[in-house]
Each structure stands twice: as structure tokens, then as C-alpha cells.
A and B are shown apart, each in its own frame.
Chain A
Amino acid sequence: MTDTLRRPTETPARARHLRPRRRRRTPAARARRVLFSALVLAIAAFLLFPVYWAAKTAVSPDQEIYATPAAYVPHRFTLQHFTNALSDPRFLRSIVNSLVVGASVTAISVLLGAFAAYAIGRFAFRGRSFMRYTILAMSIFPNIAILGSLYKLLTATHLYNTLPALIGTYLIFILPFTVWTLASFFQQLPKELEEAAYIDGASAMQTFWRVMMPLAAPGLAATAILAVIAAWNEYLFALSFESDSGNWTVPVMISNVGSQSSAYTIPWGDEMAASLVVMIPVIALVLLLQRRIVAGLTGGSVKG
């Protein structure tokens, strides 16, 4: 296994250079190339097969979905499952709910988080590293552990079974994440620009809005996308704090389609069509902004 991980373009060249007379090197290098390509293909299949299978199921008529042996490519094509999913008002409602919660919690987190991250990332003050690690500790805190207390808090404030309940509770894991990630983006910005602004007579807040925020825009975008995905993904709080199906978010809605029906009548075609409707835009967005997202995912944890 490890042998196939060598750099295929370098190894043959180097081998030729070091031992110019050994001709049997070429088939060995070719074999290694084939093995390496097989490995790359295997990884691609591993990553994509479930998505392919969901898409295949969504466009196949029912008799093909439940057929044995399985059809690996759809023989007949139908959009019926998409029509079913999109004409279900509860599903559309859940998308709206998820968007409202995701957008609100992201907007609040990015705004408040940018202030906090600016302080942690650019200011020298006592208690800075304490705040940094408090924020990190909060982002790894198990949400489930405070489920009971949050439930009490929400019923006491009459927020139980409302969308603001989710917006408020999602801040628990999204706000610390935003601060942590943005702090590492702010830290990477060159000091000279900030100093130039100060010399020109700008106040700290003017510098923040006019110089630092525009410079951190790529970081803000990446962080916002990751925050939206985290909110979009959340299941436990959405399941526990929304009793009325009109307030369900996408994960609760989709998990309910499967669990309400018995094992033999799960409407897989409809469920996969609904899943595709909500996952394709996110996949597209993530692929579009991939560089920034990778920086957001790895930056905070590797350099922090």
C-alpha cells in the first residue's frame, strides 16, 4: 500500500538518473502508476458512490428502486419523485425554516464573532489567551449535556416551539466556532496596513470597519458558509425544541419521512429527491468556494 503512495512522476526519473542501466525499472514504474491510478479511482468512488446512489434512486421509477438484482444505472427516467417532494408544503416549509434559522444565526455569529475575533486576533491584553482557550473549550462542549437546562430556559421564556429557540441555542456552538476561525484569519493579516491606518489618524473602530473587515472578507465568507452548514446540519436541538411540524427544519423533516413509514414502504424515491434538493446547492456552494472553506476548516485547528 505504502509503495503506491510514492510520487509516480519523480520516482522513475530519479531511478533512471541513479541507475541508468537497469531497464526492468520501466515496467515496475508502469505497474506502480497503474496501482496509483487504481487507488485514486477507489478514493473517488468511495467519496462519490453514496451521492450517485441517492441521485440514481431519485430519478428511478419505484419498480426499479425495489428491484433485485439492483439496477446500477436507471433504465427508465422519471421526475415524479421530485414533483412529489416539491409539492409537499411541509417540506418547502422546512426549507424556509432552515434558511431563516441558518441565516439569522450566521448573521449574528459573524457580526459578534468578528468583534471578538478582532480583539483576540489583533490586540495585546491580559486575559487574551484565557479568552482564546475558553472559546475553544466552548466549541468542543457537548451540546447534549445542556439539553435539559436549555429546555427549561426555553419554556420559562416562552420560546419553546419557536424558531428563535433554535437561533438562540445554535449560537452555543456556532458563535465560538466563528470567533475561533475568524481570529486565525485576522492574525494572518499584515500589521503594516493597520499601522498605516492609525498613522493616518483613523480610530480603532474606523480601522476595523474600513481596513480590517474588507481584508478579512474571504475569511468571513468561508466562516459564514461553514456556519450555515453547521446550522443546516443540526438535528438534536431541532428535534427536541420544535414540537409543531410547522417549525421543523430540514433534518427533522427528512428523518420523519423515513420513520413514519414501515420498513417496507419507505418512499425512497421521494426521500432521495428531497435530499438531493437540499444537498445539491450546498455541495455546489462548497465546491465553488473550496479553497476558502479548506482554509477555514484547517486554519483554526492547525495553526491555533
Chain B
Amino acid sequence: MSRKPADLAARQARLAWLLLAPTMAVTAVVALYPAVTTVYRSFTNDTFGGTSHWIGLGNYATLLHDEAFRSATWVTIEFTAITVTVEAVLGMVLALTLNTAFAGRGAMRALLLVPFAIINVISASIWKLMFNQSYGVFNDLLVDKLHLADRPIDFFGTRTTALLSVSAIDIWKTTPFVALLLLAGLQSVPADTQEAAQVDGAGAVRRFFSITLPQLRAALLVAVVFRTLDALRVFDVFFVLFGARADTTTMSIYIEQNIVDFGKAGYGSAISVVTMLLIAIFVALYVGLNTRTSK
């Protein structure tokens, strides 16, 4: 009468796969199938509707000499480097500040969620208003109030200023997310190690680098990986501010242009594949770096 444990395990496994089945089915249709066809299409000269022929590595060969693609790759990488670095540092400052006991700490932590709750398109347009050259608040502060500049700055004027302005928006929007992850990490840092080091005369800087930072490494890594992945596929904020402007086209915008505007399904797919590979390389790099330093 008694059921054997092996029987139970088999029944459990069967039920588990049954529970997973709907998710797997949906995923196969909406993600796996499109991903596989994207890779296949990247080897064709498909143009939506027109005839499609296998052209081998033709698209990839074109990519190598495509100036617009090279520019888009650099814009994306520069944006990622700027935002992820600033967000990691600023997120750390926010997390350490909000980990300190003070009146109103709970309210401050809640405020971290405000930028997160605002959709990308809206935050981009609020910042566009603030960056305006003639009546924007930033120029008012810099020129009229603080006298740091003698004439209004065109924040979107050059490639460099445009890139820095977009980065500022992303930093505002997502630094709180980094701070939240780091705060969660800080809560698992034991306070007694800190206190012992303080009694031994270690200064705040020393304690941060030799105690807090090593213990936060896992949380910091997760935050940096997530932010990098998001930054590498950035689309919304660049598109809302600059549309299809050539010197601020990111990889995602370039893919969208090729597929939606030019109808180049094959070529767009090849760029997509390269983007996926680039993202995979960055993830592998981070994870590899982390396992090496932890040994």
C-alpha cells in the first residue's frame, strides 16, 4: 500500500514539467521561434515581401564596412561606459547614505522608487524641457543664477554634449535601482566587523575599501550586469530626444531603422545577431572577471 519514494519523485517531476508546459509553449512561440528565424534571416537578403535568397555571410561582410553601424556601436558602448560607471559610484553613495540611521530614512528610501515609476518616454520629455536652450531650467541655473556659463548651452548641439545629456537622464532614472540592489546587499553586511575595525582605528575610507566593498561585490556585480545589459540595448531615450539623428543612432535604433524604415529584414537581422553576441561577450566578461577575483 505504501508508495515508494522513487515513485513519488517521478510523480513530482511529471507534475513540475506539467506546470512548466504553458510557459514553455508561450516562450517557444513568442521568443524561441523569432530568435531562430532572426539568425536564419541574417544569412539572407530578405527585404519583407520581396524574394529571399541565402547569401551566406554577405550581410556580415557588409557590416564590417558600414560606417553607420560602426558609429552606432561606438555611441552605444560610450553611453554604456558612462552610465554604468556613474550609476555604480552614485548608487553606492546613495546606498551608503540611506543605510545610515537618520530621521526620515524610510521616506528617503521610498523616494528612490519615484524615478523608477516614471515611464522612459515621459522622463525623456521632462528632461528635454529642462535642457531647452532658450527657456530650460538648466541654462537658467548655469547662466542667470550661478553664472557658470556666459551664454546658454546647446545641450543637444554636438555629439558629445548630446551623449552626456542622454546619459544624465539614464543616470537619474536608474541609479535608484542600483542603490536598491546595493542597499539589499548592505543589509547582509554584519555590523560587528565594521565596529571592530573602527575600534582598531581604521578610517571610514579604509573600512569602505577593505570591508564594505568586498562584501558588496556580489550585489554590485548583479547591479552592473543588469545595467550594462539595459544600456547596451538602449532605445527609448535616444529615440524620443533625437529620432533618427545620425550621430546619436544607437545599435537598437539602427536595427529599428533597417527593419521598420528601410525594410531590410536580412541586414537588420545580421545587426541583431551582432548585438546579441556583443551582449553575450559583456556578460561573459563580467562573470569571468568575478570568478577570477573571488579566487
| A51→B118 contact, CB < 8 A | yes
Query: Hey, which chain A residues are within 8 Å of B102, CB to CB?
Result: 8-9, 36, 40
Interface assignment of A209: CB less than 8 Å from any CB of chain B? no
Query: Hey, which chain B residues are within 8 Å of A124, CB to CB?
Result: 9, 12
| B118→A145 contact, CB < 8 A | no
A288-304 CB contacts (< 8 Å) to partner B? 290, 293-294, 297-299, 301-302
Q: What's the Cα separation between A147 and B275 when bound, in Å? A: 13
Q: Take A119-B15, A259-B243, A302-B222 as given contacts and tell me if A68 and B140 are in contact as well, using a CB distance cutoff of 8 Å.
A: yes
Query: Hey, which chain B residues are within 8 Å of A149, CB to CB?
Result: 33-35, 37-38, 41, 269
| B117→A283 contact, CB < 8 A | yes
In the complex, residue of chain B having the shortest beta-carbon distance to the beta carbon of A300: B222
Interface residue from B12, B13, B236, B243 paired with A235 (Cβ < 8 Å): B236
| B140→A69 contact, CB < 8 A | yes
Interface assignment of B185: CB less than 8 Å from any CB of chain A? yes
Q: What's the Cα separation between A184 and B111 when bound, in Å? A: 25
Convert B15-35 into 0s and 1s, putting 1 for each residue whose CB lies closer than 8 angstroms to a CB of A.
111011011101100110111
Interface residue from B31, B117, B229, B269 paired with A138 (Cβ < 8 Å): B31
Q: Take A44-B108, A123-B15 as given contacts and tell me if A145 and B27 are in contact as well, using a CB distance cutoff of 8 Å.
A: no
| A112→B22 contact, CB < 8 A | yes
Q: Can you pick out 9 interface pairs between chain A and chain B where the beta carbons lie within 8 Å of each other?
A: A5-B100, A5-B204, A47-B114, A69-B145, A141-B31, A142-B233, A147-B259, A236-B256, A275-B126
Residues on A lying within 8 angstroms of B by beta carbon are 1-3, 5-10, 14, 36, 39-40, 43-44, 46-48, 50-51, 53-54, 57, 65-70, 72, 112-113, 115-116, 118-120, 123-128, 131, 138, 140-153, 168-169, 171-172, 175-176, 179, 204, 229, 232-233, 235-236, 239-240, 250-252, 254-255, 258-259, 266, 268, 271-272, 275, 278-279, 282-283, 285-287, 290, 293-294, 297-299, 301-302
Residues on B lying within 8 angstroms of A by beta carbon are 9, 12-13, 15-17, 19-20, 22-24, 26-27, 30-31, 33-35, 37-38, 41, 48, 93-94, 96-98, 100-102, 104, 108-130, 134-137, 140, 144-145, 172, 176-177, 180-181, 183-185, 198, 204-205, 208, 218-219, 222, 226, 229, 232-233, 235-236, 239-240, 243, 251-252, 255-256, 259-260, 265, 268-269, 272-273, 275-276, 279, 283
